[in-house]
Amino acid sequence: MAAGLIIVYAIGPRAAQSEGLPTDYYFLGHLKGMIASIVFLLLGALVPYEKVGCFSKGATIFALALCFLTAVLGRAGVESLIICDEGACRAMNIPLFGSFQPAELLKVAVLFYGAWLVSDRRKKDQLTKSEFWVPMATIIIAVAIAVAFLEKDLGSTAVIYMMLGVMMFMGEMPWKQLGIFAVVIAICVVVLIQVAPHRLDRLASFSGQGDDFHIMNSLIGFGTGGAFGVGLGNSVQTTGYLPEAPSDSIFSVVGESWGFLGATAILIVYVALMYRIIDVAHKTENEEQSFFVLGVFTWIFSHVIINVGGMLALMPMKGITLPFLSHGGSSMMFVAYVVGMTLQISRWTRREVIDESSSSRRGQRGARNTSSRRRT
């Protein structure tokens, strides 16, 4: 978060001026989002998982309804409530709060509900039965319609599908069922790409047959930065050359400002964070909470891979934020919340106990996992 705030502070005035906005627009917005995210992180760390998880089904329905409402009101031209950008209506304009993206709330809701659904049906040996697949198929179809088709947000849809897929895989679902799930998701993605011209344009630009303005300027940023970067505040790409510089394209700005070493350092921090999250998932005895933490890992991992891969022209460009770094309140707040919840879960994990009660065995480390839950 600190690195993101520093970068946005340095590049915000130039980026804002190039778009005709007040010079402090991006910095103040990012600062508000950062403060709210810290509050959300504390809420996740302090409010018990069980008190939140019991509302997961209702929260999923509510978030889907908000996604539908956002898309419908956006198409109806209700500009006072809905924020649309280049034909995509994904955010609501909430008084005193600002921009709010229902798809980010949906990720959290599906994360809780998916963890409960996989864990509950696994305990009942129903992972291959209609008791599991009916609600799961309902989520898949509803997300495809509300988020990918109506809101034109294929990135968030892909993240939700990946979270569910990882939970099912780690829940030891039979390969046949996983294969069916993968085929259905692949068909949905292909259809969604075909019905949206802008997605075909992105594929064309990635293959070198379309408008590659965004990709080329992203690579120019990395190339200009070299090993050590041009320094904070000296970025040229943020003066109108690089689209969405403070948000979706911020990793290219990192490469230009801090160079290869700075960009690598940011990636190392992400790897360390994801390693710790996986460690929590491995040591958590509560199966539902373990699936939840795996979903958090998948959420952050998919955002990093999609964003960085797009900026480096390793995969098609997709408008998706870099967690904790990109400008954007809703995304940062809800990622902070689930990381806070992961911190809470990490307080109740298995730990290895060293038996050194006997002097004759002192120095011999026969570690074993305790069977009871205890604070670490």
In SS3 terms, 176-203 reads as HHHHHHHHHHHHHHHHHHHCCHHHHHHH
Q: Cα separation of 320 and 306, whole Å?
A: 7
For helices 329-346 and 102-123, the axis angle rounded to 10 degrees is 30
- Mean of pLDDT values over 194-212: 75
Which pLDDT score is estimated for 373? 43
Q: Cα separation of 67 and 64, whole Å?
A: 5
Q: How far is CA 230 from the centre of its chain?
A: 29
Which pLDDT score is estimated for 358? 43
pLDDT class for 278, splitting at 50, 70, 90? very high
pLDDT class for 49, splitting at 50, 70, 90? very high
Is there a contact between 82 and 74 (Cβ–Cβ < 8 Å)?
yes
Long-range pairs for 266-275 at CB < 8 Å and ≥24 separation? 266/3, 266/325, 267/304, 267/308, 269/3, 270/300, 270/304, 270/323, 273/300, 273/339, 274/300, 274/301, 274/304
Which pLDDT score is estimated for 367? 37
User: Residue 375: pLDDT above 50?
Assistant: no
Which pLDDT score is estimated for 350? 65
Q: Cα separation of 133 and 224, whole Å?
A: 50
pLDDT digits (tens, 9 = 90+) for 128-162: 899 999 999 999 999 999 999 888 888 899 999 99
Which pLDDT score is estimated for 353? 53
pLDDT class for 206, splitting at 50, 70, 90? confident
H or E element, residue 111 = helix 102-123
Q: Cα separation of 60 and 66, whole Å?
A: 10
pLDDT class for 67, splitting at 50, 70, 90? very high
Q: Cα separation of 192 and 145, whole Å?
A: 9
User: Residue 193: pLDDT above 90?
Assistant: no
Residue type, 190: V
Which pLDDT score is estimated for 351? 62
Q: Cα separation of 119 and 337, whole Å?
A: 22
Which pLDDT score is estimated for 335? 96
Half-sphere exposure of 108 (CA within 13 A, CB side): 27
Instruction: Supply the mean pLDDT for the chain.
Output: 87
Which pLDDT score is estimated for 294? 97
Q: How far is CA 310 from the centre of its chain?
A: 15
Token pair for residue 373? Answer: 């839950």
- Report CA torsion sign: 140, 146, 150, 155: negative
Read off the pTM: 0.89
The 3-state secondary structure of 142-167 reads HHHHHHHHHCCCHHHHHHHHHHHHHH
- Mean of pLDDT values over 102-126: 95
Which pLDDT score is estimated for 204? 76
pLDDT class for 284, splitting at 50, 70, 90? very high
Q: How far is CA 359 from CA 18, 324, 353, 355, in A?
A: 72, 49, 16, 10
Which pLDDT score is estimated for 121? 94
Domain boundaries, the chain: 1-46+202-346, 52-195
More confident residue, 197 or 91: 91
Q: How far is CA 207 from CA 119, 189, 200, in A?
A: 41, 18, 11
pLDDT class for 359, splitting at 50, 70, 90? very low
When mean pLDDT is compared across 47-61, 153-167, 180-194, 329-343, the lowest value belongs to 180-194
- Mean of pLDDT values over 200-215: 77
Is there a contact between 313 and 331 (Cβ–Cβ < 8 Å)?
no
pLDDT digits (tens, 9 = 90+) for 328-344: 788 999 999 999 999 99
240 conformational bin, left if phi > 0, alpha if psi -120 to 50, beta if neither: left
Token pair for residue 337? Answer: 């919340």
Residue appearing with tokens 């509803």: 142
Which pLDDT score is estimated for 61? 96
More confident residue, 12 or 67: 67
